[in-house]
Structures are given as C-alpha cells and as structure tokens.
Amino acid sequence: MATQTSQDVIDLRSDTVTTPTPGMRTAMARAEVGDDVYAEDPGCRGLEERVADLLGKEAALFTVTGTMANLLAVRSLVRPGEEVLCESRAHIARAELGAHAAIFGITTRTWSHPRGLLDLGAVQRLLAPKAGPYFVSTAGVSVENTHNFGGGSIQPLGPLRKLRDITRSAGVGVHLDGARLWNASVATGIPLGEYAALADVVSVCLSKGLGAPVGSLVAGTTDQIAEARVWRKRLGGGWRQAGVLAAAGSYALDHHVERLTEDHAHARALAETLADARPGLVDLAEVETNIVVLDLVHCGLAAEDVALQARAEGVLVSVLGPSTIRLVTHLDVDADACKRAGDVLARLLAE
C-alpha cells in the first residue's frame, strides 16, 4: 500500500498505525542497552518487571508482537493436541493465521457472541477437560478484553469471576488477550491487576493505543515466563539490544495510558455524528472504548465502496465484512481530525 504520511489523511483503520512521538523517539535514543538474550538489557528487564507488577503477576516477557505474546501465553497452558476455547472472532482464532495450530498443534473450539463477550453457558457446554482417548481435551479458555472485532467491547467482571471458578474446578487455565486491556481499565476504572487476577496468563500490547512502534508482553508465573523465554528464542524472537524498543514502551506507560480517555471520547463523538446521519448505522450503547463498528446492512451500501469513497476524501477505514466498517481512534487523530472524518463519513452514509 502507498505510504499514507500526508498530514491530511485521517487514518482510522487501526490503533496500530500510530507513529512514535518526538518525546518517545528521544526516550528511545537515550536508552541504555545490553544483550537481552543474555538478559542484560536494563530497559527490557525494567519494562518486564513494571508490567508484571501492573498485572500482579510474578514475571513478564517482552515480545515483538501480540501474536507472539498470545502464542507463548496459550502454549503455557495448552499442549500440542489439546484445545483452547475462545469466542469465534477472537484474535487468536481469526487474526493470527492459524499460528496456534500451525506452530504448536493447538486446536480451538469457539462460542459466538455478537460483541465477542464471554458466554458462560457455552463455555460449560464446550468444556472437556481430560477428555480421554477419543476426544480433544480442553486445557485453556481464552478471553479477549477489550474485544477487537466485537467493537472494542469490555468484558464485564462478573462473568470473568465465574469463569475463574468454573475453570479452576475443571483444572483448565485462563488466558486473557489484553491487547487493549489498558482501554478496558481506563474506561471502567477497574485496575489492570483486577482483570489479570482472573487469568493465569495475560498478554498486553504496547503497539496499539499506547503508541509504541513495536512490542507486547506476556505475563504469568516465574515458571511460565521462563518457559516462554525459551520458546521465544526458538521462534526466532530472541532480540539483542531491544532496550531501544523497551524505552518506547516505558515511555508509553508513562505518558499514553490516561490519555486513552481522549480516544474513547473521540470514538463516542464520531459514533454520535454517524448515528445522527443515519439511524441504524451504529448502536451508541455498544461504543465503549476506541472502536466504532458501522453496520451498513440497512442502508444497502457495500462496505468496500464506502471505504473507497472515504479514501478518496482522505479518510481511511477498515472493512471487516461485506457490510461492516470499523473505525478506530488513537493517538495520531485528534478531536478535530475525528470531526472532519465524521463529517466525510456522515455525508457518504446519509440517506
């Protein structure tokens, strides 16, 4: 794709498109570094300890992507030939190119929820721990919070607590895909650690709303993380002076967490503009964080066509399906840019 660096382009495709701010670049340039494969990079170790603390876990490991963090996390719970249960549009099931199966021989079975939320009844029906010599044994349940393709939806605590009880008595582990756990925590005021305590292993991304160029972490027990470190190296993810990247992550934790409330406010304003322009396009009650999903079914427009028209006017959006468009607000789109994008889309989508 052509580079979209023009000031005029408003890129709402994803919160991964952010570029490092001048302050973040300065922090990266100043980073003290060492060889992280020898565990001698002070920035990496500092970041890992800090995130482990934030999540209330014994240890954490810095990884190049969220996909790698999720792979290592799920692998710490589920062995080859066993399964993990997740929602049908979970990132681990839909957006990691089958990595869990292709690399680790881990299969999935899924429940479906329109907003990606946990369905305890379905989990109880699917759960098959120690299933014997004929059926695949369930060794993990994975929950995504916030749920990306569910529209940035927040998993309520009540069902997560019940999941903790159900899985504990079944001897099954819980993975929290917390790529956007920061957004859930900022939106609800519930501390990260309270969510993380309801899972055995947690992954978080620095490269989404937090605006770091690269990086995720997986957090769990000391043993899990020691094993994850071995697997990370095996996967080719052992990096050397990665402290320049850890510095970006630490800077993001210092400066870019609280401000996620701005992204949430921008998403809400955008959603309100579009709901006014065309009833049925967006359900305001479902806009909880920085993601707005537009349902074009009722207006009879093709998502691809709308995306092309919007692009011609300098607004980039994601097409998630024939009649589904996703807008994601982030660090690089301010209130004014969101207002302009909202006006363009409202015009294209109005009756």
Ligand X SMILES: *Cc1c(COP(=O)(O)O)cnc(C)c1O
Site residues for ligand X per CB under 6 A: 65-67, 70, 91, 144, 148, 177, 179, 205, 207-208, 216
Q: Based on CB atoms, which residue is closest to ligand X, 117 or 179?
A: 179
Which alpha helices (DSSP H) does 236-323 contain, by range? 243-255, 260-277, 303-312
CA 259 to CA 184: how far, in whole Å? 13
Smallest distance from the beta carbon of 209 to ligand X, in angstroms? 10
CA 251 to CA 21: how far, in whole Å? 10
Smallest distance from the beta carbon of 100 to ligand X, in angstroms? 12
Which residue, judged by CB position, is nearest to ligand X in the bound state? 66
Smallest distance from the beta carbon of 275 to ligand X, in angstroms? 24
DSSP E strands: which ranges in the chain? 10-11, 59-63, 83-87, 107-111, 138-144, 173-178, 201-205, 216-220, 291-295, 315-316, 318-321, 324-328
CA 14 to CA 30: how far, in whole Å? 29
Q: Based on CB atoms, which residue is closest to ligand X, 65 or 324?
A: 65
Q: Based on CB atoms, which residue is closest to ligand X, 48 or 301?
A: 48
Q: Which helix (H) or strand (E) holds 186?
A: helix 181-188
Burial class (CB within 10 angstroms; exposed 0-12, middle 13-18, buried 19+) of 15: buried
Q: Which helix (H) or strand (E) holds 349?
A: helix 335-349
Angle at 286 between CA 85 and CA 20, to 5 degrees: 80
Smallest distance from the beta carbon of 214 to ligand X, in angstroms? 8
Tokens in use for 313?
């006017």
Q: Based on CB atoms, which residue is closest to ligand X, 24 or 176?
A: 176
Q: Based on CB atoms, which residue is closest to ligand X, 41 or 177?
A: 177
Q: Based on CB atoms, which residue is closest to ligand X, 65 or 188?
A: 65
Q: Based on CB atoms, which residue is closest to ligand X, 43 or 150?
A: 150
CA 271 to CA 48: how far, in whole Å? 36
CA 14 to CA 318: how far, in whole Å? 8
Smallest distance from the beta carbon of 67 to ligand X, in angstroms? 3
Smallest distance from the beta carbon of 217 to ligand X, in angstroms? 11
Q: Are 61 and 37 in contact (CB under 8 A)?
A: no
Smallest distance from the beta carbon of 208 to ligand X, in angstroms? 6
Smallest distance from the beta carbon of 142 to ligand X, in angstroms? 10
Using alpha carbons, select from 256, 240, 259, 148 the residue that is nearest to residue 206: 256
Q: Based on CB atoms, which residue is closest to ligand X, 244 or 348?
A: 244
